[in-house]
């Protein structure tokens, strides 16, 4: 609550009281907000942890995060770069490549003599980077688009919503394949493209309908009476209330980004050093996939990682849905 009762709500008055009330009042306000945030975080966490799948998926994500952290540490201490580098290393100790799992190479080596465990761990880091970048881009765009089109309505609204319909109808994998033909897609650009496609697509529609229900709440009316400007209302009052739902859609974007990367790498279309998709691509190109279970370490770790991390983010999103979705939630939002 800014001090709107003392100010005259003259139309056209300076909308931003920032800096005006700095001091004790401002501090107390921040404290109160922090307490509120903490309390809602705790109760949200309790609902989240009630679902077994949510807890399990959080644990899975944690294990993968540890794997991502472990790679640089292992490279710095135990593993020497000549043997264990995920791209340029070569296992001189093995007599034939791909070598089966041994003490030196817990997951064996690939057809080019590179350590599979090292590849797996170093890919984890880039998958996280890709997923989180794409999710941030998606959520930034979708939240802004959703809030703006809910607030203004009319022409802006129908433009963005028709555009979202168009983006949904686009076959995204085919589009990414075409893009990879025309440009050198690196990990960052891939994340950007996936993020933009997600942000203007279905996520924007969902966030807009949520923003519509926020727009009619009394505190928006109060902010407008207090002389709040359009940007202030959108970004200070509507957007923060959208953030829980945005977080949910971040989870789903991570899943689709990792999946898209794996598919494109599997088809050999990306300009990336190492990833789970490239590991499967290498095994497939060498013809090791149809040998069934004999060379299991070439395919199984990477394939299982893709499935596990994708479904972990997906299920975490589902569990989060119970917390932030007012239709499913039992507490008063």
Partner 1 sequence: MASYLARRIAQMALTLFLILTVTFVLVQAQPGDYASFYALNPDLPPDVKEQMRATFGLDRPVWQQYLIHMRNTVTGNFGVSFGHFPRPVLEVLAERLPRTIVLFGTATAASVYIGFLLGKAIAWRRGGLLEYTATISGTVLFTAFTPAFALTMIWLFAFRLGWLPVGKFLDPLVWRDADVTSTSVFSFMLLTAVAFVGFAALVLFISGRGDRIGRRWPATLALAAGALVAALAWTLSGIGPLALDILKHMVLPVATLTLISFAGTMLLTRNSMLETVREDYVTAARAKGLPDGQVRDRHAARNALLPVVTSLIYSLIFALDGSVIVESVFSWPGIGLTLLEAVRSEDLPLVMGAIVFIGFLSLLSHLIVDVLYAYLDPRIRYQ
CB-wise, 121 or 310, nearer to partner 1? 310
Q: How far is the CB of 286 from partner 1 (least distance, A)?
A: 13
Least Å distance, CB 251 to partner 1, is 13
Closest distance to partner 1 from the beta carbon of 289 (Å) = 5
- Nearest to partner 1 of 58, 267 (CB atom): 267
Shortest Å, Cβ 145 to partner 1: 17
Rounded distance between C-alpha atoms, residue 227 and residue 234, angstroms: 13
Least spacing, CB of residue 295 vs partner 1, in Å: 12
Q: Which is nearer to partner 1, 75 or 212 (CB)?
A: 212
In terms of Cβ atoms closer than 10 Å to its own Cβ (0-12, 13-18, 19+), residue 203 is buried
Q: Is 51 or 241 the residue whose CB approaches partner 1 more closely?
A: 51
Phi, psi (degrees; rounded to nearest 5) at 109: -125, 165
Q: Report in angstroms how near the CB of residue 179 gets to partner 1 at its nearest.
A: 7
**CB nearer partner 1, residue 134 or residue 226:** 134
Question: What distance in Å separates the CA atoms of residue 151 and residue 146, rounded to the nearest whole number?
Answer: 8
Q: Provide the binding-site residues for partner 1, judged by CB under 8 A.
A: 162, 165-166, 168-175, 177-183, 255, 259, 262-263, 266-269, 280, 284, 289-290, 292, 299, 303, 306-307, 310-311, 314
Q: Identify which of residues 253 and 255 has a Cβ nearer to partner 1 in the complex.
A: 255
């Amino acid at each position: 609550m800014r001090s709107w009762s003392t100010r005259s709500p003259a139309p056209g008055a300076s909308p931003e009281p920032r800096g005006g009330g700095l001091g004790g009042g401002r501090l107390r306000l921040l404290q109160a907000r922090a307490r509120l945030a903490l309390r809602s975080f705790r109760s949200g966490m309790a609902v989240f942890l009630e679902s077994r799948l949510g807890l399990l998926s959080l644990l899975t994500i944690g294990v993968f995060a540890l794997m991502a952290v472990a790679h640089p540490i292992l490279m710095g201490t135990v593993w020497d770069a000549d043997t264990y580098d995920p791209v340029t290393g070569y296992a001189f100790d093995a007599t034939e490549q791909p070598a089966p799992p041994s003490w030196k190479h817990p997951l064996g080596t690939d057809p080019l003599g590179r350590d599979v465990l090292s590849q797996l761990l170093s890919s984890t880091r880039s998958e996280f980077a890709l997923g989180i970048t794409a999710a941030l881009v998606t959520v930034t765009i979708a939240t802004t688009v959703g809030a703006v089109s809910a607030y203004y309505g009319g022409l802006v609204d129908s433009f963005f919503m028709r555009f979202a319909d168009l983006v949904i109808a686009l076959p995204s994998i085919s589009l990414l394949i075409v893009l990879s033909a025309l440009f050198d897609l690196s990990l960052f650009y891939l994340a950007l493209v996936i993020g933009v496609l997600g942000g203007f697509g279905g996520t924007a529609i969902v966030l807009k309908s949520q923003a519509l229900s926020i727009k009619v709440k009394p505190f928006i009316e109060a902010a407008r009476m207090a002389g709040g400007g359009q940007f202030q209302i959108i970004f200070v009052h509507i957007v923060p209330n959208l953030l829980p739902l945005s977080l949910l859609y971040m989870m789903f974007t991570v899943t689709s980004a990792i999946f898209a990367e794996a598919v494109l790498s599997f088809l050999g279309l990306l300009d990336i050093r190492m990833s789970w998709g490239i590991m499967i691509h290498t095994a497939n190109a060498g013809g090791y996939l149809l040998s069934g279970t004999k060379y299991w370490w070439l395919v199984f770790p990477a394939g299982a990682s893709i499935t596990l991390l994708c479904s972990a983010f997906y299920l975490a999103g589902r569990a989060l849905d119970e917390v932030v979705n007012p239709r499913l939630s039992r507490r008063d939002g």
